[in-house]
Chains A and B, each alone.
Chain A
Amino acid sequence: MNDVLLVFLYALATAVATGFGAIPFAFVREISARFAAYSSAVAGGLMLGASFGLVAEGTAYGRGETLIGALAGVAFILGTKRLFGEHDGQELVFEAATGEGAKKMLLIIIVMTVHSFAEGVAVGVSFGGGVTLGAVITIAIAIHNIPEGVAISAVLRPQGVSVGRCAAWSVFSSLPQPLMAVPAFLFVETFRPALPYGLGFAAGAMVFMVLVELLPEAYKHGDRAQVATLATASAVAMVLFQQWL
């Protein structure tokens, strides 16, 4: 098969895997404020852990560039939040939720989708060394994407979004991966210098989202000790999981 088509199909498989992250939420019957708080804590922990991986990879390409990217990521979230805030006159509506809930869902989908652009470039650049290891890398990235789907579903499901739609939004958030992987694979030398900025941007946006939205929300409706336990355990589990892959 043509190498370019192969890279695209591999990367598409990784995007579809993200949808599996919604599965655990099929077993949850009752959605209370407390459940939403602990879901936010788990999502926050997973995103903190995932951003550690992005930083580790970004700094391997360039420390200063990763930091600049991270600051741009923070500015991006601040700008997006402000943009949403300006629609106060007519309330923001998304899926079944309005106002704050809608804003939070849109933010996490935007953040995770944007982060997939950077990950897609990383996939393409790493494939650039040859496609022989392609299948192994694909399985690794596909499995790595599942907890990202958990993070998205953990925010969407408590807002009353169905499990199927949680899965669909999770897959959607990963679609930039195949789209970016192919050009990055074809033009490795062009894309490589941009990689630390992109990875830093994704990490900055994710950590900022955790600190400004998910954790404050979790503390508001959940017990502090449980929130801290869930977030710490999820973050470390995510890092260990990625190191294992």
Chain B
Amino acid sequence: MRVTTLEPIAAVLLFSSLAALTAVLGVGPQAVGRAPSRTQIGWANALAGGLMLGVAYTLLAEGLSGALIAGGLGTLLGIGFVRVSHAAAGTGELDVDELESSGPGGGYKAILVDALHAADEGVAIGVAMVVSIPLGIAMAATLAVHNIPEAMVLSTVLTRKGLSLPRAAAVSVAVNVNQVLLAAISFGLLGLFPAALPVVAGFAVGALMYRSLVELLPESYHQAGETSIAVVTLLAMGVVVLLAGVAS
């Protein structure tokens, strides 16, 4: 099947769904009886964070198309959205390490945080698909990879809270349903209102960058050494930038 023969909206649904499904691979280490160590969880967080920063960079380079004020406004909206949702959900200073000693509420918070993540990741896929289908596919592929370490961390938290492995895998995939939904909605809306592209792209940039800086990176620094975290994050960013450059 050639990608170009797909209806654009079908491509959005297909690739965002595939990205959501890859989360199931995150239980891999536990399935083979090797629960990830604290350092490995740190690297997983850094990998996920670096990929998000790379995605934000790509959207900044490709999605704003010179509309700087709209892009800047969108960025502030993105930061504001994450801050407000954190404040409303009480997940502002969530830390995987503290989750282990927290009550059952901690598990729900971890699920909520990942579900909120998936929302702006979905917007990012939708925006990239509007810029060009190959860029959208590159974006979905990046987020598919990103979802694996994210699910690895989430499923580790959930199984330590007593959930069975298949259930933890199912929850890890389910939190990404938002990704498919928001990808389709933002793609559809931008089809109707193409002028909104810089604002929506800016929103995704602000939300993704803020999230990686407020959740993934600070956590990862606690879990592994600063040098190894910096190397993993930088390599992940570099790969995304190269991948997006080839696709666009």
Contacts and interface: CB of A to CB of B under 8 A. Distances in A.
B35 interface: no
Interface stretch (A139-147, A166-174, A222-230): A222-230
Contact of A228 (B61, B64, B210): B210
B66 A208 contact: no
Interface stretch (B105-113, B126-134, B227-235): B227-235
Contact of B214 (A59, A207, A224): A224
A33 to B, nearest CB: 17
Interface stretch (B7-15, B36-44, B147-155, B236-244): B236-244
B172 to A, nearest CB: 24
Interface in B203-243: 205-206, 209-210, 213-214, 217-218, 221, 226-227, 229-231, 233-234, 237-238, 241-242
A227 B214 CA distance: 8
Contact of A74 (B71, B92, B205, B234): B234
A216 B57 contact: no
Contact of A207 (B93, B206, B218, B237): B237
Contact of A240 (B71, B213, B241): B71
Contacts of B230: 208, 211-212
Contacts of A74: 231, 234
Given A52-B60, A215-B217, A229 B238 contact: no
Interface string A204-245: 100110011001100100001101110111011101100110
Contacts of B227: 78, 212
Interface string B192-208: 00000000001001100
A28 interface: no
Interface string B22-66: 000000000000000000000000000000010001001100101
Contacts of B64: 240, 243
The size class of the interface chain B forms with chain A is 35 or more
A112 interface: no
B217 A243 contact: no
Interface residues of A, number: 33
A54 B168 CA distance: 42
Contacts of A228: 79, 210, 213-214
Most buried by A among B213, B218, B221, B230: B213
Contact of A232 (B75, B93, B245, B246): B75
B227 to A, nearest CB: 6
23 contacts: A52-B61, A78-B227, A204-B234, A208-B230, A211-B217, A211-B226, A211-B234, A212-B226, A215-B217, A215-B221, A216-B226, A224-B214, A227-B214, A227-B218, A228-B214, A229-B79, A229-B210, A231-B213, A232-B79, A233-B76, A237-B72, A240-B72, A243-B68
A-B CB proximity, top 10 nearest: A211-B230, A228-B214, A228-B213, A212-B230, A232-B209, A236-B75, A232-B210, A240-B68, A219-B218, A216-B226
